Amino acid sequence: MTSRATSGFATRSESDTSSDNETETKRTRKRILTGDRPTGKLHLGQYVGTLQNRVRLQDDYETFLLVADYHMLTSRLTKLEEIEQNIRDDVIDNLAVGVDPEKVTYFLQSRVPEIPELHLYFSMLVSVPRAMRVPTLKDHMRDANVREPSYGMLGYPILQAADILIVKGDLVPVGKDNESHVEVAREIARRFNELFRPIFPEPQSLIPEIGLLPGIDGREKMGKSLGNAINLSDATATVEKKVMSMYTDPKRIRPTDPGTVEGNPVFTYHDTFNSDKAEVAELKERYRKGGVGDVEVKRRLFVALERFLEPIRARRAEIERKPGIVDEILEAGTARARVEAIQTLHEVREAMRLDYFGA
């Protein structure tokens, strides 16, 4: 905590009315803002999509992570009793993969009321047809089982823009499915800066090169609601069962048939999670020639995945021995995020002339 208190930007005193430029120069590191909706246990797709980048970049960027519980209201109004446990699972999974609470600010969206205030202002800067063109809208409608989006559901990416810009995030590590949301955030920042005052950075998304990790059923995307995920918290027996049931090259009947490696999810997983690159290269070669069966390729994937998951399990066990740690992290992080949020809104209200009684 002490190292955070001396990090400069956060400790700007209230009487400090320095210009935005000075604020910029005081910031030594670029900022990351990203987060998860608390939908439950996190899976390998989310690891590849965003968790891995969070861990990799937490030393180089000033990192803010949020649990986006407000976003759950846009599509899960009938399942809200699950949120509390899901918030906990989200934090634990992040810590288990190596997110360091000493380095990042981890906060709860619904405890930062400046976010919905900023969302309101931003909602004036986006046309309805623009919001309707966001490609994930139809996924959210399917998820909520509705034919017409609510006003709030239409605003999902605009709320996400408020999450990012409330802490002036520069970089947003997300999965490919969130690229269009960061695009909306960029448009909003640009429009705000032009219309009022140049307060916001234009945030960039950071999308992993492999794109989306396919599900174990071979569908394009691994997703909790799609029922095709391997969770980071799955036990050995579950991992084994899921891997052995994986979709593979459907044209292959016998182990002696030449098989297809490209686009085969079993090999995509090998490429992503098997640290033994020589083994992967050898398996691919044999597979192409019909020199290895699917069962062996999957067995070796299971072993590789276990090697990957073992340290994650060990860290999880350690965290679970400290009850209360999740609440401590979220409480401290939320307090710190609010300092930033209040400062940003101060600048926003001033820029928008919403300062009749002072900003």
Minimum distance from CB of 7 to ligand TRP (Å)? 22
Q: Say how far apart CA 231 and CA 210 lie, in whole Å.
A: 19
| Cβ distance to ligand TRP smaller for residue 174 or 309 | 174
Q: Say how far apart CA 185 and CA 165 lie, in whole Å.
A: 8
- Tokens (6 digits) for 126: 């986006």
Q: Say how far apart CA 332 and CA 12 lie, in whole Å.
A: 18
Contact residues for ligand TRP (CB under 6 A)? 33-37, 68, 71, 160, 163-164, 172, 174, 178, 181
Minimum distance from CB of 72 to ligand TRP (Å)? 10
Minimum distance from CB of 25 to ligand TRP (Å)? 26
Q: Which residues pair with 107 in a beta bridge?
A: 66
| Cβ distance to ligand TRP smaller for residue 181 or 300 | 181
Q: Say how far apart CA 38 and CA 85 lie, in whole Å.
A: 9
Contact 210, 46 (CB under 8 A): no
DSSP 172: E
Contact 99, 54 (CB under 8 A): yes
Minimum distance from CB of 352 to ligand TRP (Å)? 22
| Cβ distance to ligand TRP smaller for residue 33 or 345 | 33
Residue with the closest Cβ to ligand TRP? 68
| Cβ distance to ligand TRP smaller for residue 37 or 284 | 37
Would you give the end-to-end CA distance of the chain in angstroms? 29
Minimum distance from CB of 239 to ligand TRP (Å)? 23
Minimum distance from CB of 236 to ligand TRP (Å)? 28
- Tokens (6 digits) for 13: 């005193």
CB atoms near residue 245 (< 10 Å)? 10
Q: Say how far apart CA 255 and CA 289 lie, in whole Å.
A: 10
Q: Say how far apart CA 274 and CA 139 lie, in whole Å.
A: 31
Minimum distance from CB of 161 to ligand TRP (Å)? 8
Q: Sheet of 31-36: strands edge to edge?
A: 105-108, 62-67, 31-36, 171-173, 204-206
CB atoms near residue 272 (< 10 Å)? 18
| Cβ distance to ligand TRP smaller for residue 91 or 164 | 164
| Cβ distance to ligand TRP smaller for residue 31 or 242 | 31
| Cβ distance to ligand TRP smaller for residue 172 or 283 | 172
